[in-house]
Chain A
Amino acid sequence: MKVRVRFFAIYRERAGTSKAEVELPQEATPTDLLAELRSLYPSLPRSDSVLIAVNSQYADPHSPLHEGDEVAFIPPVSGGLV
């Protein structure tokens, strides 16, 4: 199945692009997608603190994706210190 990927902020800079389309096996999860993306874009940040959004909603990284889903990687937002 094909999914669309959106990169932002540090992910966008390291990937060198804001968008990608990736072919994945059925039942692949966002975690699987990220593993695939790391091999396609080796400079992606290594950290675990990225959140996943599927079709503009925060999502469980272990829930299977579906054909045509838009997956965005949400690195830490400017929240930080009060």
Chain B
Amino acid sequence: MIHITTEPLNPQEVTDQVRKDSNGAVITFLGTTRDSTEGRRVHYLEYEAYQPMAQDMIRQIFQEVRERWDVQDIAVAHRLGRVEIGEISMVVAVASSHRERAFEAAQYAVDRIKEMVPIWKKEVFEGGEVWVGSEEESSKVARS
């Protein structure tokens, strides 16, 4: 399951997608919006995606996970648009017969999503706004 939506996310739904009687371990990661970054007080976030490439890249990550850990059951949900502080922006659920694989696969999937899926995050904070990961953000950090 890959669910990209402007609606609030339901972690239980994502978790339920990966549960099977053959799975003994289920890891659900929630990415939530923090109220501060690098000393900036954040008001809210905005997410933007390049669809359908975002879906294609998540599918590719599923394939990578399946090949490395023989973990078949993975589900991802990501929120787009405005997300308020403390809300859930991403859910990644991974299930396996054994917990070591589930933990590792979940971490890998989360890191890979953040590394290469074309979804961008804009932080609107006290005094301005910035696209996270951009050069503009690095120069703001350097100056502060």
Which residues of A does B touch, CB under 8 Å? 6, 8-10, 12, 45, 47, 49, 53, 56-58, 72, 74-80, 82
Contact = CB atoms under 8 A, between A and B. Distances in A.
Chain A interface secondary structure, helix, strand, loop or mixed?
loop
A46 B133 CA distance: 15
Interface of B: 48, 50, 52-53, 56, 111, 114-122, 131-136
Given A8-B118, A9-B120, A56-B53, A79 B135 contact: no
A73 B79 CA distance: 21
B114 A78 contact: yes
A53 B111 contact: no
Contacts of A74: 50, 118
B52 A78 contact: no
A56 B133 CA distance: 21
A56 B50 CA distance: 9
> Which residue, A9, A75, A76, has most C-beta atoms of chain B within 10 A?
A9
Given A9-B120, A80-B114, A75 B131 contact: yes
